[in-house]
Amino acid sequence: MNESILFDILKKSKENKEIIGIWKYNDDDGFWAGYVKNYNEELVTIQHFTKYGKSDGIIIERIENIKSVDFDDDYAKAMQCLIDYSSELDKDEGFEIELNDNEEWQLGVLKQLEGSKRIARLEINATDYFSGFITKLSETDLILHCVGKMGEDEGTVFYRIEDVTTVRVNDIENRKRVMLFNWRKASL
């Protein structure tokens, strides 16, 4: 078999079940994350995983269609964490939000999240979403400790409460962010 660098990477992924990211030519939509189950000169089979670490079937691809392979990077390590603890993401701990009947609904909802370990995803002006922990709240504004898609600490940001158009709490995306955020803090 050809002893190119690509085949060394595929071999290592297969032997150690190491997560890699495979990018294809002419496919700008993303890449596949998983580990190699088998390969030969022409084809590779990959155990694919979703962005939540769930097994998502096997992909068979031609070697010649592989543009590049990411390996031994932060994303692969974070994906391994998600795979190892994916069953934890299924646990949707009950959490009730009390609603109020006034025009300042946001303040009532956000007060229930202030200082908690619950992450919220806030839609700002019906255009952008930001996830994080509400660390401080006043009658008119808030401070959000932002958490990135892969649990990265993205620092704090100030928003006006009146600009909050939607609040999401405890959805799977937020549970993923909290898991990876806590994993990163433990890894430091």
Please state, as a whole number, how many other Cβ atoms lie within 10 Å of the Cβ of residue 170: 17
Longest alpha-carbon distance in the chain? 70
Alpha carbon separation from 6 to 48, 74, 122 (Å, rounded): 18, 20, 42
In this structure, the strands spanning 120-124 and 153-160 are: unpaired
In tens digits, the chain (188 residues) has pLDDT values of 557 899 999 999 999 999 999 999 988 777 899 999 999 999 999 999 999 999 999 999 999 999 999 999 999 999 999 999 988 888 877 777 778 777 778 888 899 898 888 899 999 998 899 999 999 999 999 999 999 999 999 999 999 999 999 999 988 999 999 999 999 988 75
pTM of the full structure: 0.83
Please compute Rg for the chain using Cα positions: 21
